[in-house]
Every structure is written in C-alpha cells, then in structure tokens.
Amino acid sequence: QVQLVESGGGVVQPGRSLRLSCAATGFSFSTYNMHWVRQAPGKGLEWVALISYDGNNIYYVDSVQGRFTISRDNSKNTLFLQMNSLRAEDTAVYYCAKGPLAGYYDTWGQGTPVTVSA
C-alpha cells in the first residue's frame, strides 16, 4: 500500500526552526521526485519545494528560497523539509506528495500542521 506519513509539525516562535519528515512506504521511493505543498488556514494550495529522485535537482517557491531546505534519504525512504527563520505567513498544513515526472501528485500524506506564533 502506497503511503506517505508526515511528522514534525508543531507550534514555533517566529525566527525559530522546524524540521518536517515524510516517511514513504509501498513504492520505490528512490525513483520518484518528491514535493512539499502547503495550505494556510482557510486558503488554497501552494507548492513549496521539489527534489528530484536522486536529490540532484531542487526547486523552491520564491517565498521560502534561502530559508527552507528540502532533502531526502533514499536509504531510509524519507523526505525532509528543514524550515529556518520561520514567519507567521509560514503557518499552514504541510503535505508531502509524490508523482511521476509529469508533475501531478497521485499520492499525498495526511499533512502536518505548522503554526508560527509568538
């Protein structure tokens, strides 16, 4: 059964850091590009970052460039998102998602909530 399970979310003060994880099971993790997508409360979906299957190609939305780092450990079938210098506007549910090269997401995790508040 193909499954993605996020963890690591929580409440954090502005300027602090948080590391999200996404554990993958049921598919060949090392052959898929992986993404993080977020959704602020009551708002739409926003793509955050993409890492290629081998980790060699990485892309970010402008609003997190220089603050967030996406990475993966193919030996542990796990995706990460290191979030530094967090801002109130980063408050959202963060989803990891997988899909083929065509870029659609056929599997999503259940999401992990991140709240940035003093």
Partner 1 sequence: DIQMTQSPSSLSASVGDRVTITCRASQSVAGYLNWYQQKPGKAPKLLIYSASSLQSGVPSRFSGSGFGTDFTLTISSLQPEDFATYYCQQSYNTPITFGQGTRLEIK
Binding site for partner 1 (CB under 8 A): 35, 44-47, 50, 59, 61-62, 95, 99, 102-106, 108-111
Cβ closer to partner 1: 74 or 108? 108
The answer to whether the beta carbons of residues 58 and 50 sit under 8 Å apart is yes
Q: How far is the CB of 13 from partner 1 (least distance, A)?
A: 26
The pair of three-digit structure tokens given for residue 15, joined into one six-digit string = 């300027």
Cα 112–Cα 47–Cα 70 angle in degrees, nearest 5: 70
Q: How far is the CB of 23 from partner 1 (least distance, A)?
A: 15
Q: Which is nearer to partner 1, 5 or 12 (CB)?
A: 5
∠92-82-78 over CA atoms, to 5°?
95
